[in-house]
Chains A and B, each alone.
Chain A
């Protein structure tokens, strides 16, 4: 009896693994529709002008919590459905919205960071918060950028330039 059960388990496991492997090979990559450039803006006191996409991902995922000056990063993100958030989550972090939320719940639960991103409900609100908050960073449509914030280059390119990655 135990041997037959073991055989059955091995057989079922093999079927499962083959199924998983087949799906992995045939899985479609997440569709991403590209639109207008999204600007990454920070408080004027943030002492950087350029981030690589990998560095930007670390900020978005909370793996980088401080700027070089020792100032704490304050991440403001649009609520779900906004295009700025979609670009940040799907393009930069390569995650679905559910994965991104689970990542942050787990990060706070692991005691790696005290809180998740702060939610803003419009581009204007995002800009206002970044202007007021030392160490702040957010994503806004390029048209929403105003004086009083700093627009970061990503991989050495500004929004509007050919090859700009955050779009």
Chain B
């Protein structure tokens, strides 16, 4: 009853959200049209020198091949193909751009039959259409990597971009602690702010699906949209430093019809240079089941340090990461998310400008009373 009332109250609010997005789009349409008043050349014609051609599709990609061995079986063992991620970019006009990311992931259960054969899963990871009004205002719609976590938006599916082999568990693909994907609309921009270079992102969209590791790709599971706000700074005076924080709110309806209010507070600080490179993130997730007054807070954090050695032509980068996931007692929505403590030590070797080889040793304890596991992992990753 209470949930129904809230949904009813939220409907006018959702309409207002829709009107606001539509108004923003209309505002943007005018300057965009003004810039494209000159008809584009026919597809077979070359544009005059200095003039851009629209649309201008570009294709890039990332791939990785892995080898792993663990003391107790957890995840793939031996050689395995990671992901082939294709990235498409196309400028549709001077101010309108399309971005897409499609991944092909090797899975033991992707094929047909019983038991399921191995195969590849295809996924539209990101699909974004963006209107750039200025540096201060950009409006986009589509499917994103939720911008409430630095790693999630800095590295996406490009294993070559990240120093380590594995993502932190708090933002692991297929993980449940933080919502990795977000389907909806996003306002973003940046202002100089006296050299602080403040950037913001604000979004409304479908939150988690009833399977909480998934986004609401085919529609929201309830009438309440998820919302997010993210602010970060890259100050001029300390070039290389970036820090920021995020808020996220959603109502999540599970497959068994239980409904939860979810709030996420997250923060990070990054030293972006490679000598050293430091990334530290923390996120707290609050859950309250509808109909209950009890709320739980679960927390996760990691800190990663790396250093590009000045010797050996700057091709070697050792790194270390410690990460922790703490699930609160009584957090019913995270009942199947296990506590974790993990340490990773590794070395990255940049074999060429666009390919790297990484080797790392990991030790971790997942869940209460479970023996510690450990293993060695190797990865060849590249961009093309």
Indicate if the CB atoms of B320 and A105 lie closer than 8 Å: no
Are B132 and A65 within 8 A (Cβ)? Answer: yes
Out of A23, A72, A133, name the residue touching B307 (CB < 8 Å).
Answer: A23
Total interface residues on A, using CB and 8 Å? 43
Tally A-B pairs: CB < 8 A.
Answer: 112
Q: Please state if B343 and A9 are interface contacts (CB–CB under 8 Å).
A: yes
Query: Bound state CA distance, A101 and B101, in angstroms?
Result: 20
B159 to chain A, nearest CB (A): 12
**Which A residue sits closest to B315, measured CB to CB?**
A98
Q: Report A48-70 CB contacts with B as 1/0, cut-off 8 Å.
A: 00001010011000011110001
Task: Please indicate the chain B residues that have their CB under 8 angstroms from the CB of A65 in the complex.
Answer: 132, 135
Q: Of A16, A98, A109, which one neighbours B320 at CB under 8 angstroms? A: A16
B156 proximity list for chain A (CB < 8 A): 109-110
Quick check: B383 and A105 within 8 Å, CB to CB? yes
CB neighbours (8 Å) of A98 from chain B are: 314, 350, 353
Chain A, range 1-29, C-beta contacts under 8 Å to B: 2, 5-6, 9-10, 12-13, 16-17, 19-20, 23-24, 27-28
CB distance from A109 to the nearest CB of B (A): 6
Q: Does A129 contact B (CB under 8 A)?
A: yes
The reply to whether B128 and A111 contact each other, CB–CB distance below 8 Å, is yes
B134 at the interface (CB under 8 A from A): yes
In the assembled complex, the CB of A18 is this many whole angstroms from the nearest CB of chain B, namely 11
User: With a CB–CB cut-off of 8 A, which chain B residues contact A19?
Assistant: 318
Nearest-neighbour CB distance to chain B for A46, whole angstroms, equals 14
- Quick check: is B154 within 8 A (CB to CB) of the other chain? yes
Per the 8 Å Cβ criterion, residues 73-120 of B in contact with A are 87, 89-91, 94-95, 97, 99, 101
Known: A64-B135, A106-B154, A110-B154. A23 touches B128 (CB 8 A): no
Q: Is the CB of B31 within 8 A of A70?
A: yes
The contact string, 1 if C-beta is below 8 Å from chain A, for chain B 307-331, is 1011000100010100000000000
Interchain CB contact (< 8 A) of A13 among B94, B135, B307, B343: B343
CB distance from A41 to the nearest CB of B (A): 15
B39 at the interface (CB under 8 A from A): no
Nearest-neighbour CB distance to chain A for B139, whole angstroms, equals 13
Bits for A95-131, please: 1 = Cβ < 8 Å to B, else 0: 0101101100110111100110000000000001100
Q: A70-B134, A98-B353 are in contact. Are A115 and B58 (CB under 8 A)?
A: yes
Residue ID in chain A nearest B85 by CB atoms: A109
Among A63, A96, A106, A114, contact of B197 (Cβ-Cβ < 8 Å): A63
Measured CA separation A101–B134 after assembly (Å): 25
User: A105-B60, A114-B91, A114-B97 known; A94 and B239 CB under 8 Å?
Assistant: yes
With A13-B343, A58-B197, A109-B158: A27-B363 Cβ-Cβ less than 8 Å = no
Chain B: which residue is nearest A52 at the CB level? B236
Which among A54, A110, A132 is the interface contact of B153 at CB below 8 angstroms? A110
How many whole Å from A143's CB to the nearest CB in chain B?
23
Q: Give CA–CA (A129, B153) in the complex, Å.
A: 33
Residues of B332-384 whose CB lies within 8 A of A: 343, 345, 350, 353, 361, 363, 365, 371-372, 374, 383
Task: Judge whether B318 and A16 touch: CB under 8 Å.
Answer: yes
A5→B374 contact, CB < 8 A = yes
Which residues of B are found within 8 Å of A28, using beta-carbon distances? 310
**Residue B287 at the chain A interface, CB threshold 8 Å:** no
Question: Of residues 26 to 67 in B, which have CB atoms within 8 Å of A's CB atoms?
Answer: 31, 49-50, 56, 58, 60, 62
How would residues 259 to 292 of chain B score, 1 for a CB under 8 Å from any chain A CB and 0 otherwise? 0000000000000011110000000000000000
B225 interface residue per 8 A CB criterion: no
Bound: A21/B176 CA distance, A = 35
Q: How far is the CA of A162 from the CA of B234 in the complex (A)?
A: 30
CB nearest to B239 among chain A residues:
A94
Q: Tell me if B154 and A23 are in contact (CB < 8 A).
A: no
**Known contacts A54-B195, A101-B353, A110-B156; 10 further A-B pairs (Cβ under 8 A):** A2-B372, A5-B363, A24-B276, A63-B190, A98-B353, A102-B161, A109-B156, A109-B158, A114-B91, A133-B50
Partner-B contacts on A (CB < 8 A): 2, 5-6, 9-10, 12-13, 16-17, 19-20, 23-24, 27-28, 52, 54, 57-58, 63-66, 70, 72, 94, 96, 98-99, 101-102, 105-106, 108-111, 114-115, 128-129, 132-133
| A-B contacts, 22 listed (Cβ < 8 Å) | A5-B363, A5-B372, A9-B361, A9-B374, A13-B320, A13-B343, A13-B345, A19-B318, A20-B307, A52-B236, A94-B240, A105-B161, A105-B383, A106-B155, A109-B87, A111-B99, A114-B56, A114-B91, A114-B99, A128-B49, A132-B49, A132-B50
Chain B residues engaging chain A, CB cutoff 8 angstroms:
31, 49-50, 56, 58, 60, 62, 87, 89-91, 94-95, 97, 99, 101, 126, 128, 130, 132, 134-135, 153-156, 158, 161, 190, 195, 197, 234, 236, 239-240, 273-276, 305, 307, 309-310, 314, 318, 320, 343, 345, 350, 353, 361, 363, 365, 371-372, 374, 383
Q: Which 5 A-B pairs have the closest CB atoms?
A: A132-B50, A111-B99, A54-B236, A2-B372, A20-B307
